[in-house]
Structure 1
Amino acid sequence: MNDIDTAIVSGASSGIGEATARGLAAAGFHVILGARRVDRLVAIASEIGGTALPLDVTSPSSVAEFVAAAPACRVLVNNAGGARGLDPVESADEDHWRWMWETNVLGTLRLTKALLPTLVASGDGHVVTVTSIAAREVYDRGAGYTSAKHAQSALHRTLRGEHLGQPVRFTEILPGMVETEFSLVRFDGDAERSDAVYAGVTPLTAQDVAETVVFAVTRPAHFNIDEIVLKPRAQASATRLHRE
């Protein structure tokens, strides 16, 4: 890695995105932080010597403006995403589904598509997409989120073959339970319901995931880590947990 390597992180205003931005900055990258909550971005960027730019991955115009304002980069971390609701299919909220697909799937598509030329031109580009173990498993009442994550994963894995032989790497990070704002968003700000998700379990932290991302992008150029699945010791699958 040289002194001018630049990394872009979406969803960087909190949680895994914020921790990843901090970790990449500590590893020597200049980090471009993108998210909707610009006030939080600015505060984080000022602490790590990064650059804060507004980004809403559900908006094609926002993505275009973000990419136009961002300098050339070598690393892209697709972290923006999330879940809304936990309803069975028979009572699914189409607005929730639409938001999850727009954010997780089309958001990843828009940002990756726009930045691939500069990533390839860097001579050692790297696309990291943070999906979830929900990209490999399904569970009751979670079809909106798991279907979006399956699609996001398929999009990411397709890129590996389409760019074979080009100077760009692709790594998928599939976390299990991580304590962030994820459940608070899923349950529309219901803190009690969100806290219950993590009761009796020591979950992963955003820092745990960030360290994994940094490890992947700091391997030598010939070394592609296709995917890393990470879970708390107490979690066997999306639905099997040992609670104390």
Structure 2
Amino acid sequence: MTKTALITGATSGIGHATAYEFAKHGINLVLCGRRLDRLNTIKEALEKLTNVHILNFDVKDKTETFKAIKSIPEGFKTIDILINNAGNAHGLDPINEGDIDDWDAMMDINVKGLLYVSKAIIPQMTERKSGHIINIGSSAGKQVYPNGNVYCASKHAVLAITEGMRIDLNPFGIKVGAISPGLVQTEFSQVRFKGDKKADAVYQGFDALQAEDIAEIIYFVVSRPNHVNIADLLVFPTAQANAFTLKKNS
């Protein structure tokens, strides 16, 4: 039976790559994002491979999130797989110099947005007693690094929420897990540094993970047999050992 996956943050990075990976395997897609032009472009490309429906909203807007998910047409309404991928990092400042607007943006999207989307989808999974939720965390959810303070806190929260979900949804047979990447070369640093050219240096001198690497891992996780749930997966590029240890080419 063909499954349907809903992916947030599908217009770039890991979400975009996961949409392509899922489409290759014939999974129907509900793709969510803030940038309608990108959603339309992805839809046009992937409809050659699978059925695609797009939802244009911002996960931090509670009302719009519930409204958008409620509007999903009948052919896509049964969500078998939820990929909570939407997230961001704003700024890299010591806590005493942090921008409150940056803090709000990270907590609103990384934590509250994940909760809003999950709240809108979970009831149908509990009713069916089936489903699979994957929350995209970060190695920052495992280890705090200098100036990472609130971003790291938001990703620690993602892992705590994931564990809580797995416990609470266990009676319903719903799989829940987190995938926590280290350095992945996406638009992440462009957003964090607000377009500053120092973002270009983040991935120089070593082979970073690519969004496609994580997408392949996500597909592997969702394609395991029913009795297998990969609960917590941490993945680094080979050059990275932890938040502080990175081997750069000499």
Give the CA deviation at 1:167. Answer: 2.3
- Corresponding residue of 2:70: 68
Give, as a single letter, the amino acid of the residue that structure 1 aligns with 2:219: V
Alignment partner of 1:189 out of 185, 188, 195: 195
TM-score (norm 2): 0.94
Deviations 1:199-218 (A, max 9, x none): 10100000000001111111
Alignment partner of 1:148 out of 137, 143, 154: 154
Percent identity of the aligned residues? Answer: 39
Task: Please give the residue correspondences for 1:64-103 in structure 2 after superposition, counting only pairs within 5 Å.
Answer: 64-70=66-72, 71-103=77-109
CA contact (8 A) 1:56 1:63 kept: yes
- Corresponding residue of 1:32: 30
Alignment partner of 1:237 out of 207, 219, 242: 242
Give, as a single letter, the amino acid of the residue that structure 2 aligns with 1:44: I
After the TM superposition, which of the residue ranges 132-141 and 60-69 deviates more from structure 2?
60-69
Deviations 1:68-94 (A, max 9, x none): 122221000000001000000111111
- Corresponding residue of 2:217: 212
Question: How many aligned positions are there?
Answer: 241
Secondary structure at the aligned position of 1:172 is classed as: strand
Secondary structure at the aligned position of 2:175 is classed as: strand
Give the CA deviation at 1:131. Answer: 0.6
Give the CA deviation at 1:46. Answer: 1.6
Are residues 1:16 and 2:14 paired?
yes
Give, as a single letter, the amino acid of the residue that structure 2 aligns with 1:238: A
After the TM superposition, which of the residue ranges 46-55 and 5-14 deviates more from structure 2?
46-55
Q: Which runs of 4+ in 1 moved over 4 A?
A: none
- What runs of 5+ residues in structure 1 fail to find an aligned partner? none
Q: Aligned-pair RMSD on alpha carbons?
A: 1.0
TM-score (norm 1): 0.96
Give, as a single letter, the amino acid of the residue that structure 2 aligns with 1:176: G
Are residues 1:47 and 2:58 paired?
no
Are residues 1:166 and 2:172 paired?
yes
